[in-house]
């Protein structure tokens, strides 16, 4: 992101064509404080009065880069004034309440199913294959993420069957996705790019933040029992990565295999040179050449997939 835009973001100035007035909400946070608290040294703000640090006991309700307007009804216009007000309130050594009035950018909009991109599950054909993601039982949202000064994206994703899912989120202070994304949300679109793999998602998010500092996501959230079960299975599934075997090891293995196929497998020479007792004629041990194949019972299903769910291939259930 350009240096000019970084300075504008630190001052709390965002592009009006992207961050419209209806996305900015004024909120009041009332916090119960113990005597002698809070410590004014634990507060940090940018030149535009955006919070970059607050005491842990105040987050939530205060969130990263909330724009500070008032403290206990007193309008705050500078960092020094903020610290003076906090110091005077804390120095009374009495239990008290502090009321912070902040301005926060919040934008999560539920969109109509007719406006979803082409890779949405509801646009896919019906199937009776239980290993394919159901094409019903979802809600769709438009989410705007802002890369505030020194913030972090706070999200890990994974792909399965050309769909990118939110695998984990960072709910610590400074996370961009702290209030917007849930585990299992499918990222369908980043700005104008439809997402089908992790690499495309990473590139689109990185390029969007570098260009504007703001990206728009279209996400798919499971709200039905069957779709929720499928998403849980996806989150519990992990890819097995084949280890890379060096070329010389593969060559040696191929040579030994060719030797065994040609000459047969010879029993290795025992390293024990002492006397060994022959147990082949012992009364307690019997040696036989017969082999009986035993089938070992095992459960091939993930326990999570054994949850009792309706048969979502039944048309009667889909119409409910």
pLDDT-derived band at 279 (thresholds 50, 70, 90) equals low
CATH superfamily of 108-236: PDZ domain (2.30.42.10)
Cα 152 from Cα 222, distance rounded (Å): 26
The CATH class, in words, for 3-105 is mainly beta
Q: Which residues of 272-281 are buried (b: 16+ CB within 10 A; e: fewer)?
A: eeeeeeeeee
Mean pLDDT of 247-255: 87
Higher pLDDT, 102 or 129: 102
Higher pLDDT, 266 or 282: 266
Angle at 116 between CA 113 and CA 117, to 5 degrees: 150
pLDDT of residue 194: 93
Indicate if the pLDDT at residue 293 is higher than 90.
no
pLDDT-derived band at 284 (thresholds 50, 70, 90) equals low
pLDDT of residue 301: 39
Mean pLDDT of 132-142: 90
Indicate if the pLDDT at residue 137 is higher than 60.
yes
Local structure of 157: helix, strand or coil: strand
Mean pLDDT of 43-64: 87
Query: Is 129:135 a contact under the CB 8 Å cutoff?
Result: no
Local structure of 226: helix, strand or coil: helix
pLDDT of residue 106: 79
Q: Alpha-carbon dihedral of residues 90, 91, 93, 99, nearest 10 degrees? A: -30
Indicate if the pLDDT at residue 81 is higher than 90.
yes
By percentage, how much of the chain surpasses pLDDT 70?
78
pLDDT-derived band at 142 (thresholds 50, 70, 90) equals very high
Indicate if the pLDDT at residue 288 is higher than 60.
yes
Indicate if the pLDDT at residue 312 is higher than 70.
no
pLDDT-derived band at 30 (thresholds 50, 70, 90) equals very high
Mean pLDDT of 108-129: 89
Q: Can you read off the two tokens belonging to residue 184?
A: 């299992």
**In the beta sheet, which residues pair with residue 103?**
26, 67
By percentage, how much of the chain surpasses pLDDT 90?
23
Query: Is 186:196 a contact under the CB 8 Å cutoff?
Result: no
Cα 212 from Cα 2, distance rounded (Å): 9
Mean pLDDT of 243-253: 81
Indicate if the pLDDT at residue 292 is higher than 80.
no
Q: Can you read off the two tokens belonging to residue 186?
A: 């499918």
Indicate if the pLDDT at residue 211 is higher than 90.
no
Average pLDDT, the chain: 81
Mean pLDDT of 21-47: 88
Residues of the chain with CATH 2.30.42.10: 3-105, 108-236
pLDDT of residue 298: 43
pLDDT of residue 1: 56
Mean pLDDT of 59-65: 84
Higher pLDDT, 58 or 148: 58
């Amino acid at each position: 992101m350009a240096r000019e835009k970084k300075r504008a973001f630190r001052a709390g100035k965002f592009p009006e064509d992207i961050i419209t007035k209806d996305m900015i909400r004024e909120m009041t946070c009332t916090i119960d404080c113990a005597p002698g608290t809070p410590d004014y040294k634990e507060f940090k703000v940018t030149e535009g009065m955006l919070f970059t640090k607050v005491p842990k006991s105040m987050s939530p309700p205060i969130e990263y880069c909330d724009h500070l307007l008032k403290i206990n009804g007193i309008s705050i216009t500078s960092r020094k004034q903020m610290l003076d007000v906090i110091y005077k309130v804390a120095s009374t050594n009495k239990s008290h309440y502090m009321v912070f009035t902040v301005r926060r950018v919040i934008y999560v909009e539920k969109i109509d199913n007719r406006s979803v991109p082409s890779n949405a599950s509801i646009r896919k054909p019906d199937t009776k294959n239980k290993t394919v993601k159901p094409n019903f039982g979802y809600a769709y949202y438009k989410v705007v993420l802002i890369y505030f000064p020194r913030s972090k994206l706070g999200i890990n994703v994974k792909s399965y069957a050309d769909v990118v899912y939110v695998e984990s989120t960072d709910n610590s202070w400074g996370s961009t996705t702290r209030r917007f994304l849930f585990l299992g949300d499918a990222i369908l679109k980043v700005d104008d790019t439809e997402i089908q793999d992790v690499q495309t998602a990473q590139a689109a998010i990185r390029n969007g933040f570098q260009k504007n500092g703001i990206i728009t996501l279209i996400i798919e959230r499971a709200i039905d029992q069957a779709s929720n079960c499928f998403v849980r299975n996806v989150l519990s599934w992990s890819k097995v990565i084949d280890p890379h075997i060096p070329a010389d090891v593969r060559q040696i293995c191929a040579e030994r295999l060719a030797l065994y196929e040609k000459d047969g497998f010879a029993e290795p020479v025992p390293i024990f040179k002492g006397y060994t007792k022959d147990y082949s004629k012992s009364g307690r041990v019997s040696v036989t050449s017969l082999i009986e194949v035993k089938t070992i019972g095992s459960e091939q299903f993930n326990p999570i997939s054994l949850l009792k769910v309706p048969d979502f291939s039944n048309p009667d259930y889909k119409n409910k």
